[in-house]
């Protein structure tokens, strides 16, 4: 019910139209109870709709298995454990990265922060500069810090020189008032409920798909042109 097509099992990539190069779009996320995982799948669906093959990766888990079990998250962890864990160095091979993290007190999770803190070597050689970066999230409550979480991640992406893409208001679903929903111009989001009982609504999944398509189509035009973009700015 919560999980769609396992895109991460397909490791081929689409070539850009008329060009002999491969565009690689990574969806890199942390998920404990499956909410961000489901949003990540919707983002991947959007990337496919734009004509590209997404690569889904998890950041390393820092919690021991026994702690995850006590939190009641073992079932969810088992279901998406086959999503490969990414290393900081591998991140540099992407043309665009769409990050996903749950909210923790208005900020990203410790797992995501730990992963990003390990990207210093990428920063030192500008490996992500001029590439597209985007963020989606979840929170337990309707006003649980979704926007501040996304914005706090943007700070790190800007330090890497990434080109930030959000969720434009052309996705009309973020302006509806007839239902409770996540999503904002900063990025797609979902509300999980105080006990994690609520999974992404169709409107929230639509926002995630839109974000995937949006990032993919931006990347279509600038992939492989990082050196040119940066040199023109000098």
pLDDT of residue 10: 44
Query: Domain-by-domain residue ranges, the chain?
Result: 20-232
pLDDT of residue 117: 98
133 Cβ contact list (under 8 Å, min separation 6) = 96, 97, 98, 99, 154, 157, 160, 162, 163, 164, 165
pTM exceeds 0.75: yes
pLDDT of residue 68: 87
CATH number 3.40.50.360 is the correct assignment for the domain at 20-232 = yes
pLDDT of residue 78: 82
pLDDT of residue 74: 83
Q: Could you say which residues of the chain have pLDDT below 50? A: 1-12, 17-18
């Amino acid at each position: 019910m919560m999980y769609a097509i396992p895109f991460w099992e397909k490791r081929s990539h689409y070539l850009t139209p008329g060009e002999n190069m491969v565009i690689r779009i990574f969806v890199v996320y942390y998920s404990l109870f499956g909410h961000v995982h489901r949003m990540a799948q919707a983002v991947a669906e959007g990337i496919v709709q734009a004509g590209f093959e997404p690569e889904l990766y998890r950041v390393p888990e820092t919690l021991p298995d026994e702690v995850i079990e006590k939190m009641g998250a073992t079932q969810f962890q088992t279901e998406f454990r086959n999503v490969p864990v990414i290393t900081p160095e591998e991140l540099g091979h992407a043309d665009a990265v769409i990050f996903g993290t749950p909210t923790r007190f208005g900020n990203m999770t410790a797992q995501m922060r730990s992963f990003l803190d390990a990207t210093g070597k990428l920063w030192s050689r500008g490996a992500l500069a001029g590439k597209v970066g985007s963020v989606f999230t979840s929170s337990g409550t309707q006003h649980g810090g979704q926007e501040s979480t996304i914005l706090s991640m943007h700070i790190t992406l800007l330090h890497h020189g990434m080109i930030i893409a959000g969720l434009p208001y052309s996705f009309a679903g973020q302006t509806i008032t007839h239902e409770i929903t996540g999503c904002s111009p900063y990025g797609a989001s979902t509300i999980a409920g105080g006990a994690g009982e609520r999974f992404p609504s169709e409107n929230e999944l639509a926002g995630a798909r839109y974000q995937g398509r949006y990032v993919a189509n931006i990347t279509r035009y600038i992939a492989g042109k990082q050196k040119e973009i940066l040199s023109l700015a000098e």
